Structure 1
Amino acid sequence: MIFGIPYSDVAFLAVALLAAGAATGLLAGVFGVGGGAVVVPALYELFRAVGVPDEVRMPLCVGTSLAVIIPTSIRSFNAHRAKGKVDMSVLRQWAIPVVAGVILGSLVARYAPADLFKGVFVAVAGISAVRLLFARDSWRFGTEMPTGPIMTLYGLVIGLLSALMGIGGGQLSNLFMTFYGRPIHQAVATSSGLGVLISIPGAIGYLYAGWPKAAAYPDVAALQFPLAVGYVSLIGFALFVPTSIWTAPIGARFAHTLSKRRLEVAFGIFLLLVCVRFLWSLIVG
């Protein structure tokens, strides 16, 4: 027994997390993403396999994903900023509303049913998939980024949805910025700063949101301290990050053998498959 948890449960969870981290890093490297679009589905299947109840499985995946994003988003932001690629004016406009949206999302997570998280993921991932598979360069909201209340609203929505999905905000902010004519490389660089603003308060919020759940599910090892605190799996964070970092370059090297369009189609299909999986769980329970 480790802290009252059977060795077999801890060993299985550890091995499964290492394998899931490796698979996630590979996919993240291939598709050029590092957030919850890959992490959350992988964790969802893993936590299902180790017996985490459906009522708390999705928020545990989301909270853990936000924690996993912290080190990678900080590293990414520093690298992009050093190259002068980050549009700091956009980041400053979004900073306060994005954090406010994350805080709101964390409060919602404390009381929301599991189906809400799946529904949000399906909606946003589905829109992203449609854009990847069918969008044209001519699809635009305008030629210049908006200012004032519209930007504040965008920031609030990005923060809220990212906190409920467990992503670093890149999918959403890239969508907005490219639809206003910003180059994709600038959009990606600026989005890396949002990852920092979203992941840190988001992970803290999920610690708070899931705090009482360990006592409510005493037989679920994956929710018990020191394996987890609230809706953040500590063992997941500790084991997921190293193997995902190790395999991501392998996926990236493979990605360079594919055309941009093939990567877009591959990632779009991947997101659609995730949507189908979560829709199925919504229908059959």
Structure 2
Amino acid sequence: MPSFSFWLAYLAFGCAAGIIAGLLGVGGGIVVVPALYFLFTAQGLPHEHIMQLALGTSLATIVFTSVASFRAHDKRGAVRWDIFKSITPGIIIGSLLGSWVAAQLSTKFLKGFFIIFLYYVSVQMLLNIKPKASRQVPGTGGMFATGGIVGLVSNLVGIGGGTMTVPFLTWCNIPIHVAVGTASAIGFPIAVAGVIGYLANGLRVDHLPSLSIGYIYLPALIGIVATSMYTAKYGAKLAHSLPVGTLKRVFALFLLAMATRMLWSMF
């Protein structure tokens, strides 16, 4: 059982994950995964399984956070459910494949992959790189392929997929607030399929913590969800009222610091 200080840390990162999920449509996992990596390491959980536990637990929190987030966005008419329906089949296939691949890889490889991903996202945010909005949403085949790629990568890094779906949707000429709201909804099937995969692949693994089910560590899940579901709606409110560009740059600096800290720990 984690100590009181770790419970407080889970609650604190849940607050941050909820706000970020509602604000940017990214699911919150981009903060939760590195936070869980450091917290699990400090708790002395089995090192060879720490990244898988962080990824699986992160996706489990997104199941709950994404619901709170997309409901808040949907009240403002900012979710395109037609896009959600067309991309979900590919999302499910890609997510299940991603969780299986992650279970076969080492913690060191997954950590390195996640660090590269953090640097990519943070630089993209700092430079405000946006694809040119010059086309419409693709047809069934294109959406299935896109969903498969988003689901695969999202489950390799334990996120809700918003860092890919938001740029993709804006590239397809979808207004930014609608893209964020729709991305928050798309995070739900990504997380559900990922949780199923991380549960199934973790059940066969020995020496996992006693309070885990597969690759999902229950104390962290409970602590983060307890606050993230409450704060996600405020993040969605901020997304419709504050200059998101400025907040994204602040968030990008935080990601750079987190990625650098994880990179330093590898040496």
User: Compared with structure 1, are the counterparts of its residues 256 and 83 closer, same or farther at alpha carbon in structure 2 (3 Å cutoff)?
Assistant: closer
Q: What is aligned with 1:7?
A: none
Q: 125, 139, 142: which one pairs with 2:134?
A: 142
Partner of 1:84: helix, strand, or coil? Answer: coil
Residue range with higher mean Cα deviation, 111-120 or 182-191: 111-120
Match of 2:10 among 20, 26, 45: 20
Given the superposition, is the C-alpha separation of residues 150 and 278 from structure 1 closer, same or farther in structure 2, using an over 3 Å criterion? farther
CA gap of 1:181–1:239, structure 2 versus 1, over 3 A, is same
Match of 2:126 in 1: 133
**Equivalents in 2 of 1:27, 1:153: separation in Å?**
28
Distance 1:83 1:251 in 2: 13
| Cα RMSD, aligned residues only | 2.8
- TM-fit CA distance, 1:256: 10
Greater mean alpha carbon deviation, residues 49-58 or residues 244-253: 244-253
One-letter code aligned to 1:276: T
Q: Secondary structure at the match of 1:154?
A: helix
1:102 corresponding residue in structure 2: 95
Aligned residues of 2:18 and 2:230 also touching (Cα < 8 A): no
Runs of 5+ consecutive residues of structure 1 not aligned to the other structure: 1-9, 218-222
Residue 166 of structure 2 is aligned to residue 174 of structure 1: yes
Paired with 2:102 and 2:230, the residues of 1 have a C-alpha distance of: 31
1:224-251: CA deviation from partner (whole Å, max 9, x where unpaired): 1xx1111001121122222445666888
Q: Does 1:203 align with 2:187?
A: no
Deviation string 1:183-237 (CA, Å, 9 cap, x unpaired) is: 1111111112211111112112111111133x335xxxxx11xx11110011211
Query: Number of paired residues?
Result: 264
Pairwise CA distance, 1:21:
2.4
Amino acid at match of 2:194: G
Kindly, what percent of the aligned residue pairs are identical? 37
Are the equivalent residues in 1 in contact too, given 2:68–2:233 (CA < 8 A)? Answer: no
Counterpart Cα distance in 2 of 1:186 and 1:254: 14
Query: Which protein shows a greater Rg?
Result: 1
Task: Give me the TM-score of the superposition, normalised by structure 2.
Answer: 0.86
Q: Secondary structure in 2 aligned to 1:159?
A: helix
Match of 1:236 among 220, 227, 233: 220
Give the Cα separation in 2 of the matches to 1:74 and 1:172.
19
Q: For residue 5 of structure 1, what is the aligned residue in structure 2?
A: none
Match for residue 193 of structure 1 among 185, 188, 192: 185
Question: Does residue 91 of structure 1 match 2:121?
Answer: no
The amino acid of 2:68's aligned partner reads R
- Structure 2 SS opposite 1:216: coil
Deviations 1:159-187, CA, capped at 9 Å, x for gaps: 01111111111121012112333211111
CA deviation after TM superposition for structure 1 residue 132, in Å: 1.1
Tell me the distance in 1 between the aligned counterparts of 2:162 and 2:183. 5
What CA distance in whole angstroms lies between the structure 2 residues aligned with 1:136 and 1:231? 34
Alpha-carbon shift at residue 67 of structure 1 (Å): 0.9
Q: In the TM superposition, what is the alpha-carbon distance from 1:119 to its structure 2 partner?
A: 3.2
Whether the 8 Å CA contact 2:94–2:150 is kept in 1: the answer is yes
Q: 1:269 aligns with which of 238, 253, 262?
A: 253
1:158-169 correspondence runs (5 A): 158-169=150-161
Alpha-carbon distance, 1:98 to partner: 0.5
- 1:38 deviates by 1.0
Shift of 1:117: 2.2
Moved more, 186-195 or 20-29: 20-29
Pair 1:247–1:188, CA change in 2 (3 A):
closer
Q: Which amino acid aligns with 1:85?
A: A
| TM-superposed deviation, 1:82 | 4.3
The match for 1:153 among 141, 145, 152 is 145
